[in-house]
Amino acid sequence: MDVIYDDKKELDVYGLRLFVTNKNTVAMIMLLADVLKQVNVFSLALQSSYINFMDVDSKIKAVCNELECIIEQAQAHHQEL
């Protein structure tokens, strides 16, 4: 990012660099990566041609449990963020 800014000296690049390197932005991106991974796994399971709708409830519970773990971890590390 610094190389791009050094070459062009564009304010948009500088602003984007400041935003992306912000500690809160990085933390949010990392948190969303964990959350969206779980949601994506569930989404792919629902889209599968081999889906058994009798198993959907257990898959929902599994995703909810994973998301709750992510929340607990985020709250435990809140001071670090």
Query: pLDDT of 31-74, one tens digit each?
Result: 899 999 999 999 999 999 998 989 999 999 999 999 999 999 88
**Higher per-residue pLDDT: 51 or 79:** 51
| Alpha-carbon gap, residue 73 to 65, rounded angstroms | 12
State residue 11's pLDDT score: 77
In a domain, 47, yes or no: yes
Report whether pLDDT(5) > 60. Answer: no
Q: Which domain holds residue 17?
A: 2-76
| Alpha-carbon gap, residue 57 to 46, rounded angstroms | 11
Cβ contact 67:38 at 8 Å: yes
Q: In the chain, what is the greatest distance between 2 CA atoms, to the nearest angstrom?
A: 57
In a domain, 50, yes or no: yes
**Higher per-residue pLDDT: 3 or 18:** 18
In a domain, 36, yes or no: yes
- What is the pTM assigned to this prediction? 0.66
State residue 15's pLDDT score: 80
Angle in degrees, CA 32, 30, 59, rounded to 5: 45
State the total domains in the chain.
1
In a domain, 81, yes or no: no
In a domain, 46, yes or no: yes
